[in-house]
Structure 1
């Protein structure tokens, strides 16, 4: 079993997600697979299963005063100029691994909406690409890269709402 730099096991990171979804009565399908370090690798393990493959990016502004979680189709490329307009920031970049560990208590390669469970300040702004909200199901890493979880799109919003996260559906 792998451990993060904080000494938290992959199993307990996943169990928090599964337990939370069960408590919210959100049904999900889980697929176990070897560690996937890229979305392309993960896609190979979940081929043929219905649901849009998402990528989640953890970003920050220049001064590291605001953090963003951007969720979109993993085949799509993020246009940073469009995101800067949406967020009204002059500069946006990928957040550091230290910021990711501080804000979501996650290592790189497993960022998803489920990392918000670890964001005690609830200060991450969530942006979801409108295109994927039209799909029936979405897939994410459940805070580990050895599993992929599928859930209905409406339940993604139920999850976010249950923790009081504001999210914006935007055209990226």
Structure 2
């Protein structure tokens, strides 16, 4: 794959297959279709009165190749140095678009905890912001950035666990920038 990953790349799991998996798990969701959203700012400008917690997802790695998916509220400032200290002293940086596609099967702008369906080797450590889980519902992209689905926090955790991951729920106030 080249260094440039575009929205024409087909994810390993389709959004329809993901939604079917949510149905199998009994995860209720509300679907919202919209134009492509690439940033938190795009989302804020187009979402209107969509209720619930709006979230961002940080795909991170350390120098040894370990990977994390940090899922938090969209306005949460995250200092990577402070977060690295919170995670045991690791030095974090953002994962590349190629690594993101290889491991989670999504392109930048479509990262969400639902991409864990593609991490069948369970290579990614999942960090969920404790404050985020207090919101109902939570809004995420289902593998593409042209749809948002709203789910209950407990259903999000159930989905992550069904993908073979044990999420760490952390108070990310200590990692605020």
TM-score, normalised on structure 2?
Answer: 0.88
Q: How many residues align?
A: 166
Q: What SS class does the counterpart of residue 131 from structure 2 fall into?
A: helix
How big is the shift at 1:9? 6.5
Match of residue 164 from structure 2: 164
Spell out the pairing of 1:64-143 with structure 2 (5 A cutoff).
Answer: 64=65, 66-143=66-143
CA-atom RMSD in angstroms: 1.6
Measure the CA separation in 1 of the matches of 2:103 and 2:42.
26
Runs of 5+ consecutive residues of structure 2 not aligned to the other structure: 1-6, 173-177
How big is the shift at 1:106? 1.2
1:61 and 1:89 in contact (8 A); partners too: no
How big is the shift at 1:158? 1.1
Q: Deviations over 1:63-93 (max 9, x none)?
A: 22x1000000111111212211222143100
Measure the CA separation in 2 of the matches of 1:83 and 1:9.
29
Measure the CA separation in 1 of the matches of 2:15 and 2:142.
6
Q: What SS class does the counterpart of residue 122 from structure 1 fall into?
A: coil
Match of residue 3 from structure 2: none
Measure the CA separation in 1 of the matches of 2:110 and 2:67.
17
- Large movers: runs of 4+ above 2 Å: 43-47
1:3 and 1:9 in contact (8 A); partners too: no
